Structure 1
Amino acid sequence: MRDLLVKISKSSQPWVATLVRTIFDQPDADQVHAQYDRVIAALQDTLPTAADHLAGAREDLLAFTALPRSVRRQVWSSNPQERLHREQRRRSDVVGIFPDRDAITRLLRAVQMEHNDEWTGYRRYTSIETLTTVDAPTATDAEELKTIEPLSA
């Protein structure tokens, strides 16, 4: 959304942000896609640059429609990532000055390992029941994964 708002004037930003939010408020995937088309059409006359930007980002912005509605809220949110970044900043502020790059790398790795243990052990962002509602990969997806060449170091 920020990339889009940078391309338009300050006075138009609230209107465009409201229009884009209406896309995500739709109850099902078909209506989300229809609203996306309506938003692009509304922007085409007044803000063609914004409309072109949205049209180019269609696949990325509407990828969430492949998931069940119960999971979408977790997909939209970046709260766990933001929480991790806040904890890293807090811990590095306590130390203040690091003697070298390796020292800060060790601290940040320790924070990330602690965060991983916490979420693996007793916290869950989504429940197992919710995850089972998400479709398993199809046979064609599995075949595509087999054909991907591994990266070499």
Structure 2
Amino acid sequence: KYPKLVNWVEDNIEETLSFYRLPLAHHKHMKSTNMLERLNQEIKRRTLVVRIFPSPQSCLRLVRALAVEIHENWLEATRYLNM
């Protein structure tokens, strides 16, 4: 019924099942999309401030810098997944 989805899952099976490689204690936190929704919200907020980017690469640089910043905050400050 969904051949494109099936092909994608078969091609990316490692990424698809990476959730199960995490420690069992992390599973209950990873079932929620709160962290991802927060990241998307922050990206939207920051890109709306800029409004017009000179090129797609400049937008991508902003998003990457934001992702790195949030990742570092998760590693250093938040003990959400550090059980």
TM-score normalized by the length of structure 1: 0.37
Matched, 1:77 2:41: no
Provide runs of 4+ in structure 1 moved above 4 Å: none
Matched, 1:91 2:46: yes
Structure 1, gaps ≥5 residues long: 1-59, 129-153
What one-letter code is carried by the residue in structure 1 that aligns with 2:61?
Answer: R
| 3-state secondary structure, aligned to 2:80 | coil
Q: Give me the identity figure in percent.
A: 33
Please give the alpha-carbon distance, in whole angstroms, between the structure 1 residues aligned to 2:71 and 2:27.
22
Aligned-residue Cα RMSD (Å) equals 2.2
Matched, 1:100 2:55: yes
What one-letter code is carried by the residue in structure 1 that aligns with 2:30?
Answer: V
The Cα of 1:109 is off from its aligned counterpart by 0.8
Please give the alpha-carbon distance, in whole angstroms, between the structure 2 residues aligned to 1:114 and 1:72.
24
Higher Cα Rg, which structure? 1
What one-letter code is carried by the residue in structure 2 that aligns with 1:80?
Answer: M
Please give the alpha-carbon distance, in whole angstroms, between the structure 2 residues aligned to 1:91 and 1:102.
15
Please give the alpha-carbon distance, in whole angstroms, between the structure 2 residues aligned to 1:78 and 1:85.
11
Residue number in structure 1 paired with 2:75: 120
What one-letter code is carried by the residue in structure 2 that aligns with 1:110?
Answer: A
Deviations 1:34-63 (A, max 9, x none): xxxxxxxxxxxxxxxxxxxxxxxxxx8xx8
Please give the alpha-carbon distance, in whole angstroms, between the structure 2 residues aligned to 1:104 and 1:98.
6
| 3-state secondary structure, aligned to 2:70 | helix
TM-score normalized by the length of structure 2: 0.65
Please give the alpha-carbon distance, in whole angstroms, between the structure 2 residues aligned to 1:84 and 1:71.
19
